[in-house]
């Protein structure tokens, strides 16, 4: 639909890379907002080669949704 999905995927990848940069800079964990399984997969794929950051899907308390937690890789 007019490249909407590609644009949304690009925006999601940029958000993931920005969050990874915060993890690298500050050394703290960063949690992204709850998202669909497809969107979580996009984020995991975007950062799987990053040597400094690891990603984990975590359940959001009180919902059936999951968010992504980025942490420094040890």
pLDDT digits (tens, 9 = 90+) for 40-54: 999 999 999 999 999
Tell me what pLDDT residue 67 has: 96
Q: Quick one: pLDDT at residue 1?
A: 66
Residues 6+ apart with CB under 8 A from 60: 34, 66, 67
| DSSP-derived secondary structure for 3-66 | THHHHHHHHHHHHHHHHHHHHHHH---EEPPPB-HHHHHHHHHHHTT-SSEEEEEEEPTTSS-E
Q: In the chain, which stretches have pLDDT less than 70? A: 1
């Amino acid at each position: 639909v007019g490249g909407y999905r590609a644009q949304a995927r690009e925006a999601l990848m940029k958000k993931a890379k920005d969050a990874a940069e915060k993890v690298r800079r500050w050394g703290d964990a960063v949690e992204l907002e709850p998202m669909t399984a497809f969107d979580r997969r996009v984020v995991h794929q975007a950062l799987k080669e990053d040597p400094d950051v690891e990603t984990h899907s975590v359940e959001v308390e009180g919902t059936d949704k999951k968010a992504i937690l980025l942490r420094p890789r040890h």
